[in-house]
Amino acid sequence: MAIYGIRPVAEIQFDGFLYPCLDQITNHIGRMRNRSRGRFTCPLVIRVPYGGGIHAPEHHSESPEAILAHTPGIKVVIPSTPSEARGLLLSSIRDPDPVLFLEPKRIYRAIREEVPEGDDTIPLGKARMVQEGKDVTIIAWGAMVREALNAAEQLKGDKIEAEIIDLRTISPMDVEAIVASIRKTGRGVIVHEAPKTCGLGAEIIALINEKALLSLQAPIERVTGFDIPVPLLKSEHYYFPNPKRIVMAVKKVMSF
């Protein structure tokens, strides 16, 4: 359908069900432009309810963004608010290439806000400055942006001003926004739901080391899920990052 000019918007019911689809996504959808030497594109959006925080059973709380971002030929978008979701979804539908649109499940009902009408799009590949600060940069996406905001509010009591960057698009990533903020603050904390090992936090640290190493005043810290399967149901709160863990990481980099 996408190759013949239609712009389909598909949905996969839960993130854990995405894995059986990876053959089509990685071997066909993501390769179509390259395979046809630019004669065909595949303007397809795949919406995927993503992440944890709703006390779900197995296969319903996965965070596969690192796997998807490692796949050439597709874009990966993760909104953090309803208005961001609207603007990013419009841009995704209009994009000439395939987009994986990951929707954090825990914010489906957690946030209510006015959503602009009209043709207000948000460009893909551009991060959002959630709040400015001078002491430390917190980089997050999806539901973790709210956790970062809650942590930043607590840090004000210690006179620590945190700058928060919402990546919004995981692939392609807004490297310029990350580097500019790190050069400003000299310290960084990366927050994501997925396990730490081989997660996107490691890639972001590598990018910072390549482009802003001499600006760092402390090693970058990561606050992530653990390297285990997501616990089931009400046990999941032990697994996911929370403001307390973020505050501890910030204080660690501030005391270096």
DSSP assignment, residue 232? P
Cα–Cα distance, 99 to 88 (Å, whole number): 10
Tell me the DSSP string of 145-172: HHHHHHHHHHHGGGT--EEEEE--EEES
Cα–Cα distance, 97 to 85 (Å, whole number): 18
Answer yes or no: are the C-beta atoms of 9 and 16 closer than 8 Å.
Answer: no
Considering just the CA atoms, what is the radius of gyration of the chain in Å?
18
Report CA torsion sign: 217, 219, 225, 226.
Answer: negative
244 token code pair: 């307390």
Distance between the two ends of the chain, CA-based, in angstroms?
A: 54
Cα–Cα distance, 241 to 222 (Å, whole number): 10
Answer yes or no: are the C-beta atoms of 212 and 179 closer than 8 Å.
Answer: yes
Q: What is the dihedral of CA 150, 68, 76, 52, to 10 degrees?
A: -30
**CA of residue 206 relative to chain centroid, distance:** 17
Residues with active-site annotation: 60
